[in-house]
Amino acid sequence: MATTSEDNDAGVSAPPQVHTRAYQQELLEESLRRNLIIALDTGSGKTHIAVLRMKHEAERHSKKVSWFIAPTVALVEQQYDVIKTAIPVSVGKVSGASEPNQWKDASLWRRILTTHQIMVTTPQVLLDALHHAYVDMGSDVGLLVFDEAHHATGKHPYNMIMKNFYFSLPPRTNLTRATDRVRPVVLGLTASPIYGGNVDAAFRDLETNLDSIIRSTRKNRGELAEHVYRPEFKHVLYASPIHTWEVMPSKNYQALKAVVDELNIEDDPYVISLRSRLAKLRPTDDRHRIDQQLSKAIDKEDTFSHKGLRDFVRAAEEICIELGPWAADWYVAKVIERGKVAANPYNNIMSAWQEKEKRYLLSIISKVRVTTPPSDADSIMNGITPKVRALVDSLIVEEGLFRSRDEDYSGLVFVTRRDTVIALAELLRRIPETAQLFRLGCLLGSSSSFKRHSFLDITRNILEESQADTLRDFKIGDKNLIVSTSVAEEGIDIQACGSVIRFDPPPNVVAWAQSRGRARRKRSSFIIMFEETGPQRVREWEDTERKMMLAYNDPRRDAMISVADEDFDDMDGYVEFEVASTGALLTLHSAIPHLNHFCAVIPSGGQESHVPIYELDPPDYVEGWHSLPNPTPTHYMGPWGATVSLPRALPKHLRRFTTPQIHLSKRKAQQHAAYQAYVQLYQAGLLDNHLLPLSTAIEPDKKEEVEAMLAEVAKRASTARVTIQVDPWAVSEDSSAWFAHEVTVTGLPNMRMLTRRPLPAFAQEDFPVFYIPKIGEATVEILRTDPAPVDEDLVRRAKEYTYRLFSMLYSSRMARDRLEFSYLFLPTSSWPGEGSWETRRKWQQKRYSKGLTNHPEGRYVANAAELGRQFSYPKDLALVRGIGKFDKPLELLSWRYDALSPDEEEKFREQYYAYTDLQITYPLMVVRTLPKRRNFLVPFTLETTDKLHPAPTGDLPFFLHPQYALVELASRDELQYALMLPSILRWLSNALTADALRTTLFLKTPVFNTPLPLLLTAITAPASQELSHYQRLETLGDTVLKFIASNQLYAAFPLWHEGYLSRKKDHAVANSSLAKEAVQKGLYKWIIRDQFVPRKWKPHSATPLQSPVEEMADEREEEAQPAHDKHKTVVKGEKDGKGKKKKAEELSTKMLADVVESLIGAAYEHGGFDLAISCAERFGLGLSWKKLPQRIEEMHKVEDLDDIPEQLALVEQMIDYQFKRRTFLVQALTHASYQGDSAVMSLERLEFLGDSALDMVVTHYLYHAAGKNYSPGYMHIKKESAVNSHILAYVCLSTSLTVQSVMPTWAPETGLATVDDSQRVHLWQCLLHSSHRVLEDQTLTFARFEKHGPAIGQALREDRIYPWAALTSLQAPKFISDMVESILGAVYIDSMGSLDAVRKVMRSLGLMQILERVVVEDVDVLHPVSRLAIWAAKQDPQKKIEYKREKVKGKVKCTVFMDEEELLSVTATYRSRVSEDEVRFTAAEQAIRKLEVLGVDMDEVKLVDEDQEEQVELGDAPEARW
């Protein structure tokens, strides 16, 4: 933290370029010796002293924290920014604005204290944490800093912290160790250490309360005077008001007052409601409370509606007197206009208003006959007071003085009343002289409470800008005059003003000093407006200030001993309760808020939150006071008692607590009652040892579930003519040998498999898991048993067995008695029960050969009735069916011997309606259809929890007549094999295809050793509908290919600029280039794209009749799909060398390119970049391929620089990476405009390499994101969130470092001294350039970053939707985002190609955290333009969305049209090409909200083919890729 002449107590956001001043060093050294309250003028740099003091504390490596307390949320926010910028330690922040649930969680507080060295909070946060013993002041806090320390009086939390927790600790001594539990050091900061006029009493109280001495500089007063510019004091006299309270010339005021004067409190809905409730209640405590409320409402007439309306009248009166009738007329009209909107029952603007109150207020204000005030200048000027005229004249004079000095004017007008601020600002905007000179803003305070306060809360809605916006615009010069209440007097980080005008005199010396301190520019002025006949207290305030300065500069006071701790609380029974185990403390002052919190967390069933109810003893009013004929107010002065009643959810003995009538005030009585109640709640076990409700917990946010998004690769029209897919079972015509293998399936006996050539030696991990009903997850292995061919007898038996096995289920699609299969099967040995089945088959064959069978029996299919009679109705029959040609195969459950019931018999005969003379004989067969599962490669559904007994299909058992049924003479094991073999053969067919690729294309290359499952995935097209296909690998491989190609080119062509490198890379990796290489290498033959349809499956014939693709086409024709399907094989008239016709098939070039990329991705997954390069090298792609270590060594063949800029060390600290060769960093930071002597090239080449490294890191992370399994489309949009130019610019702008340095300085009093010269340096400032345009772009971009950056940062940390439009609003030039990529490129080379180093730097920049949150929390990153386009395309009928952009007079406007009708428009200042994108993105977001576009089905998202992408220019939206 450094200080400038313009530095205020809150510091400034831009890094100033100065050093610590002598008077600051003097007071810092004094604060190291004793507790100190530093009293310096506003703008003198008090905060800088505190920062240095905390820095000193942090450097002591104490385990205790420094605790900085600021009285308001706004001060906490700005002081936190100052401290974290200035001190390189962890700084924590908690304030009421963040709803600090931390005080409800002991473990979280402990974690905060152990991981932070400095905490910045509001005092109430610390006080609550101390009360609940989450923080122990003696053990946890080493330094306590009080900002605006003069608040430490009375019952302010500052004083409560000291009173309840500081003074009870042992004092520090010279023997105190760092870990001792003692009082922390106290440091106070204030510009006005007194309230009131008695300096001695004020000093004594403040010093006693903070256990400190008040000091200002004594040795360096001259230097202080040089840096604190006291403004020129002026006073302006104005004539007394010409209006009186009795006669007001405002017509609207008179109309309003006439209506309000006629109000009757009995008509108020609150009073009516109380009377109604009272009439229904019996004499109970509740009735007594209602009676008291009713009497009070009638006596005070302070109901929400009546009090609000009277306040409205009073505000209008004051405005009329202070500003004149025109302002009063405007104010009344404006408030009534807003009031009518707010009171409308059909809106929810003022949600705290009850419906009856809305209707009542609407009925009243509707009676006011409002006259619209004239808008012409003459009428306005005729309707202003002399006071306003005097203000206008003063402003004009002040602005002219500044203009004459060629300085920009900035002014602040302090007004006492909030409503007067609003009306005065409107007047100044309407008066011609001021309207032309000033750009006005208003400050009313930052309250955002939604509680019921006053009817006039609606005036907050009159302001169109927030306090933060107004302050920001004032700071950057968009506004030059602010009209404010006292909120701007103290603490708020407000720009130093040229003139400060007190429209109303300050009420005390503090307000005098604080408001004067805002005028601290050189040659500034401080003006107070006085009524000519009124009191003028300037001399009195100046005298008080002089006494104050003499007091804290008096050396004799140093020896004064603090006054003993007085009884802060009066003698009215002060008590406190401490939990011994934790130290949690309950006091009278904390009892009521604690009890309120306890009641609020009790479940309320969706109704209003519970609250404790207090009753006074004696009551304020006698029973029925509201109904007395002439009620008179009571004037009882005490003592008081109180009773508190808690919600009925508690047991009776914990619902009501009473304190006797002994207390001197109502508040004390209520506090004692609440205290008693809370102690009893703790003793009853309803509070924990931190005195918090047991139910207290931080509920997690209910996050919306994100829909699964899949993006399929679009099929392109561009095609390449290629031959058909390879047949993995095909063999040469002269081959006749068969080779044996053994098939092992979990739960089944082994089966021998014969193939025409030996199968590859598959590894155990190559085989997939099969999912089989009644077995579960089964493993399958196929092992070669004998290298020699088998004998012909075995082949013959295997052919017959295979035919019988497959014909059980697939005979309708098999050629009758044709035994020429591509694979054969035969049991390895005698299976269990095989003897019985062999006996049955011989019996049937004997019947068949003798002609004893009937149609449709066969050699292995028997009539069920005949079989049953012959073999006593066996129960192990596996497969039965009816005798009809199309009857389905069935599973036998049992034989039914019992007679059918009448209902069963009726259904049975309906089943056999064709057999009119059906004779029912017993037993009958009880059967059901076979399980529908046929593809055993597909996992069980998530709903099937019992894998061994899958969920029933819904088919119920039924009866078959044995006489009309057939039995397949096959065992259950054979049936199971018949069911499973299609799935096994499907996998084996695909595996053989992948193996053929491996042993052909990649033979004698390192890629040969890539695991089969990876290769299989890489060559499986999505069209095959397999569970695993190449899309994800293709996405990974695409990035890997670009990365390794970028490396090859960067190293191979060291003199090429980025344009050449990009063009060459794009050509090498283009789809057309990849597809061409795929065709030349014959890759298309191994692409698996035929579908596995189990219910259409048939055994593969050994004769080369059909290819898998032809079978696929036939199956599609059977399913009545169009004959012109683009995957259909077409036969052309071409002939090969043997005279046979060659078959040609259309394949998309994108599919061919995708397989090349997926193979590269598979190689990378198995063997990293070296294997990926080996795979890419096999396809050539027009590049000379070398391994990355070789290429990195080539990249290092550059000369080191002798003259390295000093700021490089700062960049290394910012990115947390130490370069071995800083030459690369110099290049990464060198802009093309740089005209220095450096020999390095500009950053574009490194940006080219860094871009690919960034993509590689991000894609690798997304591909391997745990539990996500992202589809390509999802990976793409997630990746865009971390690599788009807007986010890169944001991280560049947000990366900075505080440079700690010292420099010598000389002062007359001290001579030559060394002082701190710290400053904040940003990454973007480290760019080496020689261009004024670059400098201007940097400055403007950083100004926009200061305006929008905090909101963007919060959105990136917290929002569920990615802030595309907000990021675009930065309008950062490309070189800012390029800096990030070039730095990543430099790190990559310097680290010898370590992506881990790149990843670490990305984390230092915050990129990895953004990406991780996008993934872990499923942040919606779909671009608004894309979202709107997808939504429009899905409408029925489809909607047409168009964006029309136009530039007019320095503005850019974007209009959204839907179906050629204007939907909305957005306008912004035109600054660059990026401005057009900003308005387009913002317009899309607004259209989304207007059309209520919510979820978008990501299945609709299609990725754009890179070959068809247009060249992306600066600021192009990421959605251009969709």
Model pLDDT for residues 792-843, shown as the tens digit of each residue:
889 999 999 999 999 888 888 888 888 888 899 999 888 888 888 889 999 9
**Percent of the chain scored above 90 by pLDDT?**
22
| Range ranked top by mean pLDDT from 514-518, 1112-1116, 1503-1507 | 514-518
Give the per-residue SS3 of 33-62: CCCEEEECCCCCCHHHHHHHHHHHHHHCCC
pLDDT at 1310: 64
Bridge partners of residue 118, in order along the sequence: 66, 91
Structure tokens at 1393: 């190609």
Reported as type and span, the H/E element at residue 719 is strand 719-723
Q: What b/e readout covers 463-502, taking b as 16+ CB neighbours within 10 angstroms?
A: beeebeebbbbbbeeebbbbbbbbbbbbbbbbbbbbbbbb
Reported as type and span, the H/E element at residue 281 is none
Per-residue pLDDT band for 105 (boundaries 50, 70, 90) equals low
Q: What is the largest CA-CA distance in the chain?
A: 139
Listed in sequence order, the residues at least 6 apart from 669 whose beta carbon sits closer than 8 Å to its beta carbon are 616, 617, 640, 641, 642, 659, 661, 663
Q: Which stretch of 391-400, 560-569, 1000-1009 has the lowest confidence by average pLDDT?
A: 560-569
Strand order in the sheet with 1130-1135: 719-723, 1141-1148, 1130-1135
- The DSSP 8-state label assigned to residue 1441 in this structure reads E
Report whether 758 contacts 737 (CB < 8 A).
no
Structure tokens at 335: 């408030």
Give the per-residue SS3 of 739-806: EEEEEEECCCCCEEEEECCCCCCCCHHHCCEEEECCCEEEEEEEEECCCCCCCHHHHHHHHHHHHHHH
pLDDT at 1307: 63
The mean pLDDT of 1070-1078, rounded to a whole number, is 85
pLDDT at 1035: 93
The mean pLDDT of 524-541, rounded to a whole number, is 72
First to last CA, the chain: 47
pTM of the shown model: 0.53
In tens, the pLDDT along 122-166 reads 998 898 888 888 888 888 999 999 998 888 888 889 998 998 889
Q: Which stretch of 220-229, 469-478, 564-573, 1389-1398 has the lowest confidence by average pLDDT?
A: 564-573
Report whether 663 contacts 569 (CB < 8 A).
no
Q: Is the pLDDT of residue 294 over 80?
A: yes
- Whole-number average pLDDT of the chain: 79
- The DSSP 8-state label assigned to residue 1101 in this structure reads B
Task: Using alpha carbons, select from 363, 369, 366 the residue that is nearest to residue 269.
Answer: 363
Q: Is the pLDDT of residue 4 over 60?
A: no
Q: Is the pLDDT of residue 348 over 80?
A: no
Compute the C-alpha angle 829/831/835, nearest 5°: 105
pLDDT at 1195: 93
- 879 vs 697: CA distance, rounded Å: 61
Neighbours of 1428 (CB within 10 A): 25
pLDDT at 1471: 63
Strand order in the sheet with 118-121: 91-94, 118-121, 65-69, 141-147, 185-190, 36-39, 213-215
pLDDT at 1173: 94
Bridge partners of residue 188, in order along the sequence: 37, 146
More confident residue, 1109 or 277: 277
Q: Is the pLDDT of residue 1325 over 50?
A: yes
pLDDT at 245: 54
- The DSSP 8-state label assigned to residue 1128 in this structure reads -
Bridge partners of residue 1316, in order along the sequence: 1302
In tens, the pLDDT along 1300-1314 reads 765 566 666 666 666
Structure tokens at 694: 């047991």
Helix axes 355-365, 325-343, angle to 10 degrees: 140
Structure tokens at 243: 């209006």
Per-residue pLDDT band for 1048 (boundaries 50, 70, 90) equals very high
Q: Which stretch of 259-263, 352-356, 912-916 has the lowest confidence by average pLDDT?
A: 352-356
pLDDT at 252: 87
Position of tokens 């609407």?
362
Bridge partners of residue 745, in order along the sequence: 780
- Give whole-number Cα distances, 722 to 496, 538, 725, 731, 1069, in Å: 76, 98, 9, 21, 21
pLDDT at 1140: 45
Q: Which stretch of 689-698, 707-716, 1114-1123, 1250-1259 has the lowest confidence by average pLDDT?
A: 707-716
Alpha helices in 634-739, H assignment, sequence order: 666-683
Reported as type and span, the H/E element at residue 105 is none
In tens, the pLDDT along 1198-1221 reads 888 877 777 788 899 999 999 999
The mean pLDDT of 1373-1392, rounded to a whole number, is 93
pLDDT at 461: 66
Q: What b/e readout covers 1191-1227, taking b as 16+ CB neighbours within 10 angstroms?
A: bbebbeebeebeeebebbbbbebbbebebeebbbbbb
pLDDT at 43: 72
For residue 658, count CB atoms less than 10 angstroms from its CB and return exposed for 0-12, middle for 13-18, buried for 19 or more.
Answer: middle
Rounded to the nearest 5 percent, the helix, strand and coil shares of the chain are 45, 15, 40
Helix (H, G, I), strand (E, B) or coil at 232: strand
The mean pLDDT of 32-57, rounded to a whole number, is 86
The mean pLDDT of 1271-1294, rounded to a whole number, is 90
For residue 603, count CB atoms less than 10 angstroms from its CB and return exposed for 0-12, middle for 13-18, buried for 19 or more.
Answer: exposed
The mean pLDDT of 351-355, rounded to a whole number, is 57
For residue 570, count CB atoms less than 10 angstroms from its CB and return exposed for 0-12, middle for 13-18, buried for 19 or more.
Answer: exposed
Neighbours of 988 (CB within 10 A): 23
**Percent of the chain scored above 70 by pLDDT?**
79
The mean pLDDT of 1141-1145, rounded to a whole number, is 41
Helix axes 1058-1069, 1071-1081, angle to 10 degrees: 40
Q: Which stretch of 376-385, 748-757, 1281-1290 has the lowest confidence by average pLDDT?
A: 376-385
